[in-house]
Chains A and B, each alone.
Chain A
Amino acid sequence: MSCEQYMIRQISLFSENKPGRLAAMAKACQEENVNILAFSIAEAEGFGVIRALVDKPDVAFKKLTSMGFNVAFTHVIAVEMKDEPGGLFEIASKLSEAGINIEYSYAFSGKNKAILILRVDQVEEAIRLLHSHKFTLIASESIQ
């Protein structure tokens, strides 16, 4: 199994914590017809990082960089999660048993299932582990 296909490029964007920054980023995506599949904001003192999974990461990267944003790609993995009590535990406990640390994570639940997006310290190990436990990982080419 190639781990490569399950590494999804997340866009990470440095932003000052002030009104209008998310709107500016979102508007840019709209203009370029880039769909945001999932996103979260992490904040520290006065600034934050906007993280987003988008369908056209290269287009978004180019557009946002040209607007002066500080943008970087980060590899994350996305795994299907049962949308029921215990769904998160199932995944988190497997990673924990293997000593893999979750640096951050965000999730969304759709119609039939939930998706958990994970940034871990050992990406390939996490992919192999989840794969071996029959979890469904989202391949990057299926969304990007």
Chain B
Amino acid sequence: MFWDEAIETIKPADLKILQEKRLRETVSRCANVGFYQKKFKEAGLRPSDIQTIEDLQKLPFTRKTDLRDGYPFGFLAVPLRDVVRIHTTSGTTGKPTVVGYTAGDINTWADLIARNLTMVGLTKDDVFQNMVNYGMFTGGLGFHYGAEKAGLTAVPSGTGNTKRQIEMIHDFGVTAIHCTPSYGLHLAEAAAEMKMDLSSLRVGIFGAEPWSEKTRNELQEKLGVEAFDSYGMSELYGPGVAFECSEHNGLHIWHDSYLVEIIDPKTGENLGPGERGELVVTPLTKEAMPLLRYRTGDITMIMEDECPCGRGPKLARFTGRSDDMLVIRGINVFPSQIEHVLLSIPEVGNHYMVYVDRVNHMDEMTIDVEVSRENFHGELADLKNVQNKVIKSLRDVLELRTTVHLVEPGTLPRFEGKAKRVVDRRGDD
């Protein structure tokens, strides 16, 4: 199903014309932003020098730190009186990043979300419970406006009170939910404990943190939904930037609205399709806060195969971030590697925490992981074996000795927003 079939299946040649037109408009809007005026000057560029997609390479990258330095309104390309809404990004140190939206932005964004919801098969006949934060986080209002635009019955349940969430799903006959994958699993556990029937559910949209195929199977089995991966970030409006279709093989990014590059995060060089690197996006329709070559920090690649659904090139599922890399005793560690190891061991659950400390000038990594309820047979020796298995598997993958704590099921934090599973305490002392 298409929301806007013409644009979703646009021919490459027509797309390029549209992208270049919108790129020129974006560059001219950026000329109103002090940061870009300075950057253009440094590079000896005039906005009119950027005409084609190839010209993009002349432009500098924009980083999250740049946005933070512009706090609060340094990146607005329009007067504040034309801004109808403000969101801020979640959970980074220091000041948040502020994102502004014009009335046009709100409308464009809702339209993108409507495309996604329609793509996953939702219609006016669906009841959609949006179980994410409705405050400064973009997931709440973003999905809400898109759902209303697509004609769904939106239930703005927000976060918290899991018991009430479950009752509403049951009582309202909710067919589709949106939440983080970890909250989805929590919901399933809680519903099982309450012995509540959630069989009205058929679609689950999960975003804000990367999740694995194993988690997909678990979500689908326990919640009785078809699970779709959702990608976005506040700087690019919010959720809705890229989304899985029913092929469940990569995410469609909307090429009419987002110009995509994949770069080597170390050298900044462009990488081709099939090569994994950092996603860099130039949003093409943003009015209040246009950005050029924004470094998302997220690791993916452009997929080479065409999608049978008829939409444009997809991004591979995200496998971590270029900037949450930990350096432990000089060895690079991506938390996604740890997650991957733990997911391959059935004796431990999906929930874990990683702590990094400096003990006697040495980096020490400790991993708390829940013992799986199903795989406990009462023997201490079995548990010791599980612990050793986790330690050995981590050593094989990370080439690092770690300390592993087995903890009781249900005791580690469940995250409703972005999961913060890594706690680096090395700077604390």
> Which stretch of B11-19, B62-70, B135-143, B373-381 is in the interface?
B373-381
**Residue B424 lies at the interface, judged by CB distance under 8 Å to chain A:** no
Task: Tell me whether A44 and B408 are in contact (CB under 8 A).
Answer: no
Bound CA span A68–B371, Å = 12
A72 with B378, Cβ < 8 A, contacts A15-B408, A47-B405 known: yes
Q: Mark A66-98, 1 if CB is under 8 A from B, else 0.
A: 001111111000000000000000000000000
Chain B residue total in the interface (Cβ 8 A): 18
Task: Tell me whether A16 and B407 are in contact (CB under 8 A).
Answer: yes
Q: Which residue of B lies closest to A44 (CB)?
A: B384
**Residue B338 lies at the interface, judged by CB distance under 8 Å to chain A:** no
Q: Mark B140-168, 1 if CB is under 8 A from A, else 0.
A: 00000000000000000000000000000
Bound CA span A100–B254, Å = 68
Residues of A at under 8 Å CB distance from B?
A: 10, 12, 14-16, 42, 44-49, 51, 68-74, 103-104
Shortest CB–CB separation between residue A44 and chain B, in angstroms?
A: 5
Bound CA span A104–B382, Å = 14
**Residue B307 lies at the interface, judged by CB distance under 8 Å to chain A:** no
**B378 proximity list for chain A (CB < 8 A):** 10, 12, 49, 51, 71-74
Task: Tell me whether A14 and B371 are in contact (CB under 8 A).
Answer: yes
Shortest CB–CB separation between residue A91 and chain B, in angstroms?
A: 22
Task: Tell me whether B406 and A46 are in contact (CB under 8 A).
Answer: yes
Bound CA span A51–B376, Å = 14
Task: Tell me whether B383 and A47 are in contact (CB under 8 A).
Answer: yes
Q: Which residue of A lies closest to B374 (CB)?
A: A70
Task: Tell me whether A49 and B383 are in contact (CB under 8 A).
Answer: yes
Task: Tell me whether A70 and B405 are in contact (CB under 8 A).
Answer: no
Task: Tell me whether B380 and A74 are in contact (CB under 8 A).
Answer: no
**A47 proximity list for chain B (CB < 8 A):** 383, 405-407
Bound CA span A72–B373, Å = 10
**Residue B410 lies at the interface, judged by CB distance under 8 Å to chain A:** yes
**Residue B387 lies at the interface, judged by CB distance under 8 Å to chain A:** yes
**A74 proximity list for chain B (CB < 8 A):** 377-379
Shortest CB–CB separation between residue A104 and chain B, in angstroms?
A: 8
A14 with B387, Cβ < 8 A, contacts A47-B405, A47-B406, A70-B409 known: no
**B387 proximity list for chain A (CB < 8 A):** 44-45
Task: Tell me whether B409 and A42 are in contact (CB under 8 A).
Answer: no
A49 with B380, Cβ < 8 A, contacts A14-B371, A70-B371, A70-B373 known: yes
